């Protein structure tokens, strides 16, 4: 039997493999989400070149000042989603493939995705 961590790692890699194939085939970039126990991070990745185009993190100065007012996970996830979408649109990226990173599409991950859609990203 595999441990819970091993199963989660295998699930994450399986999902990422399929998402990367879809992103390369469709010519879109990948919006990847990483969620820790306290924070959530997002980045738009070009898998063909293997580089990160834009990223958003709650550790950035602009968001650290707001994090006192928005200390909930959902509030911060919404801020991160809007920020990464704004930066992607400024970089000329409108269409992406959403990579939830093996996490359930629920809670913070869903809030990030919904706010990125509202800000103008198409996925």
Cα–Cα distance, 112 to 83 (Å, whole number): 10
Which run of H or of E encompasses 40?
A: strand 40-46
The band of 66, judged by pLDDT with boundaries at 50, 70 and 90, is low
Percent over 70 (pLDDT), the chain: 93
- Give 33's strand partners: 42
pLDDT number for residue 99: 93
What tens digit of pLDDT does each residue of 12-60 get?
A: 899 999 999 999 899 999 999 999 988 899 999 999 999 999 999 988 8
Residue 67 has pLDDT above 80, yes or no: no
Q: What is the mean pLDDT of residues 86-103?
A: 94
Cβ atoms of 54 and 88 closer than 8 Å: yes
Instruction: Give me the domains of the chain, ranges plus CATH numbers.
Output: 4-118 (3.30.420.100)
The band of 113, judged by pLDDT with boundaries at 50, 70 and 90, is very high
Residue 61 has pLDDT above 70, yes or no: yes
> Which tokens is 110 given?
């869903």
What pTM did the predictor assign?
A: 0.87
Q: Whats the size of the chain, residue-wise?
A: 123
């Amino acid at each position: 039997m595999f441990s819970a961590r091993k199963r989660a790692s295998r699930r994450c890699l399986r999902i990422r493999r399929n998402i990367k194939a879809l992103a390369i085939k469709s010519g879109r970039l990948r919006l990847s989400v990483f969620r820790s126990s306290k924070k959530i991070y997002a980045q738009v990745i070009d898998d063909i070149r293997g580089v990160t185009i834009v990223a958003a993190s709650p550790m950035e100065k602009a968001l650290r000042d707001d994090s006192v007012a928005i200390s909930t996970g959902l509030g911060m996830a919404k801020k991160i989603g809007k920020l990464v979408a704004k930066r992607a649109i400024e970089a000329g990226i409108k269409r992406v493939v959403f990579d939830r990173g093996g996490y359930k599409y629920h809670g913070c991950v869903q809030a990030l995705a919904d706010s990125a859609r509202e800000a103008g990203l198409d996925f």
